Amino acid sequence: MSDADTTRSSTDTLTAPEHTRTRSRGFVGRQLQQLLALASLIALVLFFSVADGNFLTWSNITGILLSTAVIGILALGTTFVIVSGGIDLSLGTGMTLCAVMAGVFLTTLGWPLALGVLGGILTGAVLGFINGFNVAVLRIPPFIVTLAMMLIAQGLALVISGTAPIYFTDVPGFTDISRGEIIPGVDLPNAVVILFLLTAVGAVILRKSLLGRYAFAIGSNEEAAEISGVDVRRWKILIYVLSGVFMGIAGVVLAARLNSAQPSLGVGYELQAIAAVVIGGTSLQGGKGSVVGTLIGALIVGTVTNGLRIMSIPQEWQTVIIGLVILVAVYTDNLRRGREGPMTR
Amino acid sequence: MRKHARGLGVAAAAMLLLAACGDDGGTSGDGDGGGDRPQIALVSKGFQHQFWQAVRQGAEQAGEEFDVEVTFEGPDSESEVAQQIDMLQSAIDRGPDALGFAALDSQAATPLMEDAASREIPVIAFDSGVDSDVPLTTAATDNRAAAALAAEKMVELIGGEGEVALVVHDQTSVTGVERRDGFVEYIEENAPGVEIVDIQYGGGDHLESTNLATAIIQGNPNLAGIYGANEGSAIGVVNAVNELGMAGELVIVGFDSGQAQIDAIRNGVMAGAITQNPIAIGYETVKAAVQALDGEELPETIDTGFLWYDATNIDDEEIQAVLYE
């Protein structure tokens, strides 16, 4: 970020009470941003429905939702980190470590289901705490902290699992976390229900809670937030812990879906999650973003991937097209912001 | 600026630490380099997968039998071509008496093969070939023939006609290519009633393969069968069919082994699978390396064998010996 930008933001906070200012401008911007993303999603669904008759069936729609679930949950959590101006590269392998830990708790140690699941989620919270502590207190750049954690988590997942997958075949009810259908009469896998629930919870935390408000403040201008009396260190740690909790939940859902914890999985998932966040309109420079946008972003990636697969487009081209989608999403976002203010915030 | 410098310093220290740990973890029984026994360094395609653990077991078995020191290492995942090349480079730099190598990418390693040749280290390829004249022999499953057997079983199980699709792990490795082509060619030449409607690649990743198998099934409502070309791909297909509540409606033919695949065959979701003989792959590789060190003549390829297993023969002794869990 440039000096000019810092100054502008500082004066923003000085001349107008922070919340009213960001509210009034942020609300319109946010609505527009989400509407655009939603419109793109609807356009994609329409396109694929016309292009291939097998696309718009209930079972394919649930298929898309299910394939979005794990990466989507990861992305919801990382939205907070990115809004606060950070980044988390340890999402993918960290999630795998959470899955492995849940496997150890439930199979090797034989804990009851709820306790084992909780253990897996808490593993994520611990990883998040370590990330947050390193970023906020030791002041190591988030990119480096989470890159190191990515390797540490990957290694630990292999060490703890003894390099072999852990199977949950003998844990009754475990796969229902992902595959079961808790809502009677509705053919919707639980993983999808969890994704939607967490979106709602995440949106409320980001918009209504102190943590959410401070995440925006820190992401917009850390110094200004500090001067206004925000305990930046504490809130940064909490933001990473929250992201870690989402990571833990994603890990449990992943393991339940595969009925196993595959210790070699997870590399590259962080990039898919970050892509979903960016497509959803959250700025990688922090200070701007939304949880619902992230859900839509994840659904856009899931829909494009599924649609191209249904149409039997060669896989090499699928990858190219997903890359283009990310570019277009960020470009249109920049255009819109260009009209609002001088920087790409 | 000062903040950045400090950050980089800490990062560099962490990297060094990690690199040091990594080197130790990846190899086994290494470190006393200068022992009397001949050193044979094996660089595989992976080390944590059950399949590669079985290869390692066979290699160590041969190591004991022929009294040679065997080291075994491999990248974290089967898509880490660059990581594998680094491992191969450092294995060559250690100066072993012989080298065993399973290429993730059949061409990426050619320059290093020349390097090994110039240092007069005999190289035995295993599991899949290398695009190079350097390896003295290749100890591997005849994947093309094995995939053809999978196709033959598929045609039989769907009654000679219908649509089938393939979930393959990748399109760059020899095993990926041969297991796809062997299957496709058999169908094209022998089963005019069977149509291949889709071929997709999931990197052997369970989640990715599950998602793409789901899409394939949705996109092709008349599908009669799916073939998964390795463990992760086959399990992905099984997951997809289970999630869609279509168990038993589609014929699933797999490749390789593993607990989940064995379970799927026992409970009828998967019709059957081809298994390689990973123990034999490891064993024959080390044996060939020893023979090369003794100056013996080696055949161009060593077929380490493959077998079809399904619910009827899964408990046979012959099958149990080559299934790896």
pLDDT tens by residue, chain A, 345 residues: 333 343 334 434 433 344 444 444 455 666 777 788 888 899 999 999 998 888 888 888 988 998 899 999 999 999 999 999 999 999 999 999 999 999 999 999 999 999 999 999 999 999 999 999 999 999 999 999 999 999 999 999 999 998 778 989 889 999 899 888 888 878 889 999 999 999 999 999 999 999 999 999 999 999 999 999 899 999 999 999 999 999 999 999 999 988 889 888 888 889 999 999 999 988 888 888 999 999 999 999 999 988 888 887 877 788 899 889 888 877 876 776 665 544 444
- B contact test, residue of A66, A67, A95, A169 with most B CBs within 10 A: A67
**Strand B223-228 vs strand B251-255: parallel, antiparallel, or unpaired?**
parallel
Give the residue on A whose Cα is nearest the Cα of B17: A148
CB contact under 8 A, B220 and A262: no
| Pairwise CA distance, residues B179 & B204, whole Å | 13
> What's the pTM?
0.75
Residue holding tokens 């696309």? A55
Determine the residue type at B83: Q
Burial (CB < 10 A; 0-12, 13-18, 19+), residue A149, is: buried
| Pairwise CA distance, residues B308 & B297, whole Å | 32
CB contact under 8 A, B18 and A151: yes
Quick check: helix, strand or coil at residue A341?
coil
| Pairwise CA distance, residues B74 & A289, whole Å | 41
Task: Share the mean pLDDT of chain B.
Answer: 86
**Interacting residues of B22 by C-beta distance below 8 A, sequence separation 6+:** A155
H-helix or E-strand containing B100?
strand B98-101
pLDDT for the residue A53:
83
pLDDT for the residue B78:
73
Q: Where are the alpha helices (DSSP H) in B72-139?
A: 81-93, 110-118
| Banded pLDDT at B200 (limits 50, 70, 90) | very high
| Pairwise CA distance, residues A165 & B259, whole Å | 9
CB contact under 8 A, B244 and A155: no
pLDDT in tens, B27-53: 344 444 445 789 999 999 987 777 888
% of chain B exceeding 90 in pLDDT? 62
pLDDT in tens, B151-175: 999 999 999 999 999 999 988 877 8
Contact A290, A282 (CB under 8 A): yes
Q: Which of A99, A131, A116, A108 is nearest to A248 (CA)?
A: A99
Q: Which member of A63, A158, A264 has the closest CB to residue B215?
A: A63
Give the residue on A whose Cα is nearest the Cα of B219: A310
pLDDT for the residue A1:
38
Give me the interface pTM, i.e. the ipTM.
0.72
**Interacting residues of A182 by C-beta distance below 8 A, sequence separation 6+:** A190, A193
Give the residue on B whose Cα is nearest the Cα of A263: B48
Q: How far is A338 from chain B (nearest CA, A)?
A: 29
Q: How far is CA A286 from the centre of its chain?
A: 14
Q: How far is B249 from chain A (nearest CA, A)?
A: 16
Q: Which member of B76, B210, B215 has the closest CB to residue A306?
A: B215
CB contact under 8 A, B76 and A154: yes
Q: Which member of A60, A265, A312 has the closest CB to residue B206?
A: A265
Q: Which of A205, A201, A181, A202 is nearest to A192 (CA)?
A: A181
Give backbone dihedrals phi and psi of B139, rounded to 5 degrees, phi first.
Answer: -95, 105
| Pairwise CA distance, residues B74 & B59, whole Å | 14
Residue A343 tokens read as 């920087």
- Average pLDDT estimate for B285-296: 95
Contact A19, A230 (CB under 8 A): no
Contact B71, B39 (CB under 8 A): yes
Contact A198, A246 (CB under 8 A): yes
Q: Which member of B76, B244, B260 has the closest CB to residue A260?
A: B260
Strands (DSSP E) found in A68-145: none
**A&B contacts, CB < 8 Å:** 114
Phi-psi region of B303 (alpha: psi -120 to 50; beta: other; left: phi over 0): beta
CB contact under 8 A, B207 and A60: no
Give the residue on A whose Cα is nearest the Cα of B12: A144
pLDDT for the residue A34:
77
| Pairwise CA distance, residues A225 & A210, whole Å | 13
Give the residue on B whose Cα is nearest the Cα of A175: B243
Q: Which member of B18, B212, B243 has the closest CB to residue A309?
A: B212
Residue B258 tokens read as 């593993």
- B contact test, residue of A160, A262, A305 with most B CBs within 10 A: A262
pLDDT for the residue B94:
84
| Residues of A whose CB is below 8 A from B14 | 144, 148
pLDDT for the residue B21:
43
Contact B23, B73 (CB under 8 A): no
Residue A245 tokens read as 């909790």
pLDDT for the residue A253:
96
- A contact test, residue of B2, B4, B10 with most A CBs within 10 A: B10
pLDDT for the residue B8:
47
**Radius of gyration for chain B, computed over Cα atoms and rounded to the nearest angstrom:** 21
| Banded pLDDT at B1 (limits 50, 70, 90) | very low
Residue B128 tokens read as 């899949």
Give the residue on A whose Cα is nearest the Cα of B16: A148
A202-210 contact pairs (CB < 8 A, 24+)? A202/A76, A202/A77, A202/A79, A202/A80, A202/A246, A202/A291, A202/A294, A203/A290, A203/A291, A203/A292, A205/A80, A205/A242, A205/A291, A206/A79, A206/A80, A206/A83, A206/A289, A206/A290, A206/A291
CB contact under 8 A, A163 and B244: no
pLDDT for the residue B93:
86
pLDDT for the residue B320:
84
| Pairwise CA distance, residues A113 & A172, whole Å | 8
| Residues of B whose CB is below 8 A from A66 | 211, 214, 243
CB contact under 8 A, B49 and A260: no
Give backbone dihedrals phi and psi of A252, rounded to 5 degrees, phi first.
Answer: -65, -45
Residue holding tokens 């589609």? B250
| Pairwise CA distance, residues B237 & B273, whole Å | 13
| Pairwise CA distance, residues B257 & A335, whole Å | 52
Give backbone dihedrals phi and psi of A219, rounded to 5 degrees, phi first.
Answer: -70, -35
pLDDT for the residue B3:
44
Give the residue on B whose Cα is nearest the Cα of A66: B211
Residue B224 tokens read as 């009669």
| Residues of B whose CB is below 8 A from A165 | 50, 258-260
Q: How many CB atoms lie within 10 A of CB A138?
A: 11
pLDDT in tens, B230-263: 999 999 999 999 999 899 999 999 998 888 899 9
Rounded to whole angstroms, the maximal C-alpha distance in chain B is 72
CB contact under 8 A, B211 and A67: yes
| Pairwise CA distance, residues A277 & A293, whole Å | 7
| Pairwise CA distance, residues B273 & B257, whole Å | 8
pLDDT for the residue B105:
79
pLDDT for the residue B26:
37
Determine the residue type at B240: A
Give the residue on B whose Cα is nearest the Cα of A155: B22
CB contact under 8 A, A267 and B210: no
Q: How far is B216 from chain A (nearest CA, A)?
A: 6
| Residues of B whose CB is below 8 A from A54 | 218-221
| Pairwise CA distance, residues A219 & A1, whole Å | 11
